Amino acid sequence: MTIRRIVQYPDPILKEKAKTVTKFNERLHKLLDDMAETMYDAPGVGLAAPQVGILKRVIVVDVGEGLIEMVNPEIVEKSGEQISPPEGCLSIPNLLGEVRRYNRIKVVGQDRYGNPMEVVAEGYLSRAFQHEIDHLNGILFIDVAERVFRPEEQEEADQ
């Protein structure tokens, strides 16, 4: 496994739409392994392939409940609403945002072998999935945030 370089904003690849994965092979497996290692090393709770310079519809997520890999993810059901906690992004260091997200979603996609899979996510996991799927569509949290701020501004507001 290899820790890959995380693409930083304003690199234009972050605004491009990722392509559907059609080949489920060793190259995809290596990408997934590298993405997980990169996410944990950063450290983060999610990573999308465009964030490591690969325009493929591939994400990894781990909010503390174990690693979830998903290829070609698509949100098929959504309900409720949440706006906290503030979101950050490995590709946009030193900024946070208040982003309105669905509280509960159902995501369908494929595993690393091309087998169908489904995840029902609520709360923080739902937020992480939506954030990463946005990356696959060229959408950054700063594009959809109701408020963007620096972490020290949050610390001052909490005092």
Token pair, residue 67, equals: 């690693």
Let me know: does 27 contact 61? Beta carbons within 8 Å: no
| Domain boundaries defined on the chain | 12-158
What is the reported pLDDT for 88?
97
Give the model's pLDDT for residue 84. 78
Alpha carbons 127 and 92: distance in angstroms, whole number: 17
Long-range CB pairs of 148-156, under 8 A, 24+ apart, other chains included: 148/95, 148/96, 148/97, 149/86, 149/95, 149/96, 149/97, 150/94, 150/95, 150/96, 151/88, 151/94, 151/96, 154/86, 154/96
Classify 12-158 by CATH class: alpha beta
**pLDDT score, position 66:** 98
pLDDT of residue 157: 59
Is 89 annotated to bind ligand?
Answer: yes
Flag whether 29 is marked binding. Answer: no
Q: Which residues does the chain have with pLDDT short of 70?
A: 155-159
- Nearest of 69, 80, 16 to residue 46 by alpha carbon: 69
91 marked as part of a ligand binding site: no
pLDDT value at residue 60:
99
SS3 46: strand
Active-site positions? 132
Q: Given this model, what pLDDT does residue 153 score?
A: 84
C-beta of residue 64 within 8 angstroms of C-beta of residue 92: no
Please tell me the predicted confidence (pLDDT) of residue 143. Answer: 98
